[in-house]
Amino acid sequence: EIQMTQSPSSLSASVGDRVTITCRASQSVGTSLHWYLQKPGTAPKLLIYAVSNLQGEISSRFSATGSGTDFTLTISNLQPEDSAYYYCQQAYGTSTFGQGTKVEIK
């Protein structure tokens, strides 16, 4: 089973900052890497699919890149509504999620 390791586990940043979350797979997952946002008490929401593709009406402040085993999610111009948990997910083999990153606004 492919293991996904996210870092950091939490971060605190100010409005307007740029933050980056990384996700590392225990083996190559090709382009089957997706990112989600989850706010407390709600279902996860797909942010980015297949490494770098923005889902639906997701803000262009979100971007992502990577290949093989190393991936990053970047939030530019951080806004208060970005306060949430962020998860990466690989779907190359049977699916697994990273352990999550809590993003807080200072």
β-strands 101-105, 10-13 pairing: parallel
Q: By CB under 8 A, tell whether 71 contacts another protein.
A: no
* Of 10-18, 19-27, 63-71, 81-89: span binding another protein (CB under 8 A): 81-89
Position among 11, 22, 45, 105 found at the interface with another protein (CB under 8 A): 45
* Of 20-28, 29-37, 58-66, 74-82: span binding another protein (CB under 8 A): 29-37
